[in-house]
């Protein structure tokens, strides 16, 4: 492979080089990438869904007590402090996930986690979500990056963050024991619809409204426990809220669930995860995320074939992408999202703690975690990140961050870009009137903005 292939590997498939990585004698960039396809996890997560749920339920209890009693300013202040503490704990996990991506020696896996976190997008729509959202990444996504998509799909669907976000914890089968008693509360189709439209088959995947209803009914009873005493904290299957009977999804019949079993919905999710349309939809999205806004159809088809052949084994599909010559074309087709931009910059400069902090920076640049506002997640298209105002925000941040960098501009340039650094950009950096200006030129160069 050409020498520049190493920096294509660093930038296109990872988050860019670090000074230590740039010094390694990597002879085979493809092998370096494939060697990263092993278990990846968030090390010692600072916040868990169990902690989040305990705090959420305690907060609800205290709020109810205050509402039922005469208003007490001291109690109200204490409640606000508790809410702020919950959200701050969650933010620490969000920051930890990003900081690990800055420091990791498995940047390919960190990028895959970022891809799937956006694929299964959550938004901070309320206090519950602001408290629990990042735990989906650490608990349901990262553990399955080196395995099968079906296992990830089931784990994500069962996770309290997803159940809260798409309101499935309160979805009740109309003919369930609970539904027959509480006719004002019934079926919620949010989760079933998004699984079909976004998570598996895709919007043009050939499903119908009856399929949405069948999956949604099968998912009734998938809820969150811990509010009541002696109830497991986290995912629970509430059989008394589950819609009884067999279901038909995409023309296939699924037997009625046995008592206290959620196997019917699990079987549906496994079938969806290995469906040909899911293979096409996910292979296209992965190739688009890594390679180009309009990925080569030949590449997508080969990835989809491997998906079907391996029943959605994620590392096998990624191996096809890495091994395909169309993934290594010299042109940098992808424009970095704010998250990719910030992480790659901090990796190149060996920066860990910056001011403003990482979450505030991403908020300024338009990609704060869990703020897409839609289950579809953030856009993966260059046109949505390359507007004049967005570039001005990057310029201002780049100029600010340059003052915190200890390395010289040309040192950072060689770490970040190696032989991808153009003679023109190198010349402009060398002619800069100051270190800060030289770094700003590098950070806003076409080579650095794209990957």
Asked if residue 141 has pLDDT above 90, the reply is: yes
The partner residues of 234 in beta bridges, in order of sequence, read: 225
At residue 344, the 3 state secondary structure works out as helix
Return the pLDDT at 232. Answer: 86
What's the rounded Cα separation, in Å, for the pair 62 and 284?
47
Structure-block tokens of residue 375: 């289950």
Domain locations in the chain?
4-22+335-449, 37-145, 274-328
For residues 402 and 258, the model is more confident at 402
Return the pLDDT at 448. Answer: 98
Return the pLDDT at 89. Answer: 97
Residues in Cβ contact with 269 at an 8 Å cutoff, skipping those fewer than 6 apart: 150, 153, 154, 157, 195
Which DSSP state fits 204?
A: T
Return the pLDDT at 389. Answer: 96
* Residue (of 43, 115, 61, 70) closest to 282 by Cα position: 115
Cα torsion angle, 269, 274, 277, 283, sign: positive
Asked if residue 424 has pLDDT above 60, the reply is: yes
Asked if residue 76 has pLDDT above 90, the reply is: no
Average pLDDT of every residue of the chain: 95
Residue 225: pLDDT band with limits 50, 70, 90: very high
* Residue (of 161, 118, 151, 116) closest to 272 by Cα position: 151
Stretch 307-335: mean pLDDT, rounded?
97
The secondary element (H helix, E strand) that includes residue 137 is none
Return the pLDDT at 2. Answer: 54
Asked if residue 1 has pLDDT above 50, the reply is: no
Structure-block tokens of residue 141: 């996504």
Stretch 170-193: mean pLDDT, rounded?
93
For residues 219 and 230, the model is more confident at 219
Radius of gyration from C-alpha coordinates of the chain: 24
Q: What is the pLDDT of residues 236-291, one digit of tens each?
A: 999 999 999 999 999 999 999 887 899 999 999 999 999 999 999 999 999 999 99
Buried b (16+ CB within 10 A) or exposed e, 340-373: bbbbbbbbbbbbeebeeebeebbeebbbbbbbbe
What's the rounded Cα separation, in Å, for the pair 287 and 294?
9
Residue 3: pLDDT band with limits 50, 70, 90: low
Q: Which of 10-24, 62-76, 124-138 has the lowest mean pLDDT?
A: 62-76
What's the rounded Cα separation, in Å, for the pair 248 and 256?
10
Under a CB-based contact definition with an 8 Å cutoff, are residues 162 and 143 in contact? no
At residue 332, the 3 state secondary structure works out as coil
Under a CB-based contact definition with an 8 Å cutoff, are residues 410 and 429 in contact? yes
Return the pLDDT at 431. Answer: 97
């Amino acid at each position: 492979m050409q020498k520049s292939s190493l920096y294509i590997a660093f930038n296109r498939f990872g988050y860019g080089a670090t000074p230590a990585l740039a010094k390694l004698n990597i002879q085979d960039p493809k092998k370096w990438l494939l060697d990263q396809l092993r278990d990846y996890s968030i090390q010692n997560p600072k916040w868990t869904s169990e902690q989040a749920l305990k705090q959420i339920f305690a907060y609800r209890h205290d709020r109810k007590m205050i509402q039922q009693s005469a208003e007490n300013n001291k109690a109200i202040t204490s409640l606000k402090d508790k809410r702020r503490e919950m959200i701050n704990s969650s933010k620490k996990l969000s920051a930890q996930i990003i900081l690990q991506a800055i420091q990791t020696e498995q940047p390919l896996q960190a990028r895959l986690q970022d891809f799937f976190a956006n694929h299964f997008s959550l938004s901070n729509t309320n206090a519950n979500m602001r408290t629990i959202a990042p735990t989906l990444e650490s608990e349901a996504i990262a553990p399955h990056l080196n395995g099968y998509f079906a296992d990830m799909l089931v784990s994500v669907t069962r996770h309290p963050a997803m159940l809260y976000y798409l309101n499935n914890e309160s979805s009740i089968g109309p003919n369930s024991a609970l539904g027959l008693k509480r006719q004002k509360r019934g079926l919620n189709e949010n989760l079933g619809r998004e699984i079909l439209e976004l998570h598996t088959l895709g919007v043009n995947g050939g499903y119908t409204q009856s399929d949405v209803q069948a999956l949604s009914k099968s998912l009734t009873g998938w809820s969150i426990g811990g509010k009541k005493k002696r109830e497991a904290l986290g995912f629970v299957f509430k059989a008394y809220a589950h819609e009884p009977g067999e279901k038909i999804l995409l023309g296939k019949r699924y037997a009625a669930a046995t008592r206290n079993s959620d196997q019917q919905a699990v079987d549906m999710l496994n079938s969806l995860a290995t469906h040909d349309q899911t293979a096409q939809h996910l292979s296209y999205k992965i190739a688009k995320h890594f390679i180009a806004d309009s990925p080569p159809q030949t590449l997508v088809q080969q990835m989809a074939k491997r998906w079907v052949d391996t029943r959605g084994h994620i590392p096998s599909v990624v191996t096809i992408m890495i091994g395909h010559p169309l993934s290594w074309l010299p042109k940098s087709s992808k424009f970095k999202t704010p998250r990719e931009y910030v992480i790659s910059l901090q990796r190149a400069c060996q920066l860990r703690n910056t001011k403003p902090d990482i979450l505030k920076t991403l908020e300024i640049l338009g990609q704060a975690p869990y703020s897409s506002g839609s289950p579809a997640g953030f856009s993966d298209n260059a046109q949505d990140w390359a507007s004049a105002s967005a570039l001005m925000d990057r310029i201002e941040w780049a100029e600010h961050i340059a003052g915190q960098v200890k390395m010289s501009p040309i040192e950072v340039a060689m770490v970040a870009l190696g032989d991808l650094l153009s003679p023109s950009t190198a010349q402009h950096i060398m002619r800069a009137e100051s270190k800060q200006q030289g770094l700003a030129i590098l950070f806003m160069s076409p080579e650095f903005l794209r990957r």
